[in-house]
Amino acid sequence: MLYLVPTPIGNLEDMTLRALRVLKEVDRILAEDTRVTRRLLQHYSITTPLSSFHAHNEHKITGGIVEELKNGASIALVSDAGTPGISDPGFLLVRACVTEGVEVTCLPGATAFVPALAASGLPCDRFHFEGFLPHKKGRQTRLEYLAALPHTFVLYESPNRLLKCLDQLATFCSAGRMACVARELTKIHEEIRTDTLENLKLHFESKNVKGEIVVMVSGA
């Protein structure tokens, strides 16, 4: 079986008892960055063998992993933070497993956009998860599409591109559209700020922004 195991997005206490048990019991753990995952495993005294599985090698090694699983191995897949496959490597392996009849199970656990959206105060009965926007080609097309959506949409962004993102969102959606920026979730300096896009840009212009970021914008 292939286990998709969510890992903490910041606070190391955000591991379920089931996730810890699975990581101890599987034959091998596939990690996006073994250095990051090794720190987590050491924190919980887990000694399961660790291998790399990331965007640069997943096409090459997916076939071999599927064969290993078909021969009876149990393997856990983790990303650096959150749930594997959600804006992280994992989709190709899961699809290959499903195609080949290998059982896949995903444990519930940490993912950044769910707590951010729930705490934002923006409507969340319906929402669109976009993930990371294209850096160049196709970016304007996606922004035009998102701006017209009738419900809240969710983006992931890096600290060094946050101001550019807010500026473009204010242009395409209007400066007065309500939005929320959540950063450093589950960490000491967690910040979840809801305001107009214009005011959010002014706020973060004066700050040295760090941490992974979730940006949510209310519907048109």
Q: What is the CATH number of the domain that holds 120?
A: 3.30.950.10
- Over its C-alpha atoms, the chain yields an Rg (Å, rounded) of 19
Residues 146 and 167 in one domain: yes
Residue that finishes a domain, picked among 106, 121, 138: 106
Q: What distance in Å separates the CA atoms of residue 130 and residue 196, rounded to the nearest whole number? A: 20
Q: In this predicted structure, what is the pLDDT of residue 136?
A: 87
Total domains in the fold of the chain = 2
pLDDT at site 178? 98
The answer to whether the beta carbons of residues 16 and 92 sit under 8 Å apart is no
Q: Select from 106, 141, 165 the last residue of a domain.
A: 106
Nearest to 83 by CA among 145, 129, 24, 149: 129
Same domain (yes/no): 75, 96: yes
Give the structural domain span for 123: 113-217
Tokens of 23: 């990581």
Q: What is the pLDDT of residue 218?
A: 98
Same-domain status, 124 and 96: no
Residue-level pLDDT, tens digit, the chain, 220 residues = 999 999 999 999 999 999 999 999 999 999 999 999 999 999 999 999 999 999 899 999 999 999 999 999 999 999 999 999 988 889 999 999 999 999 999 999 999 999 999 999 999 999 999 999 998 899 999 999 999 999 999 999 999 999 999 999 999 999 999 999 999 999 999 999 999 999 999 999 988 898 889 999 999 9
Check which CATH number belongs to the domain holding 48 and give it: 3.40.1010.10
183 CB neighbour count, 10 Å cutoff = 24
**Are residues 85 and 138 both part of a single domain?**
no
User: Maximum CA pair distance of the chain?
Assistant: 57
**Residues in the chain, overall count:** 220
| Residues 6 or more apart whose Cβ sits within 8 Å of residue 5 | 19, 22, 23, 76, 77, 78, 84, 107, 109
Cβ 217 vs Cβ 197: under 8 Å: yes
Does 158 share its domain with 69? no
Q: Specify the pLDDT at position 173.
A: 97
According to DSSP, the β-strands at 2-4 and 104-106 are parallel
Tell whether 26 and 43 lie within a shared domain.
yes
pLDDT tens sequence across 138-162: 999 999 999 999 999 999 999 999 9
Contact 74, 25 (CB under 8 A): yes
Cα 80 to Cα 66: distance, rounded to the nearest angstrom: 22
Contact status, residue 184 vs residue 211, Cβ threshold 8 Å: yes
149 plus 75 within the same structural domain: no
Residue 17: CB partners within 8 Å, gap ≥ 6?
Answer: none
Q: Are residues 97 and 8 in the same domain?
A: yes
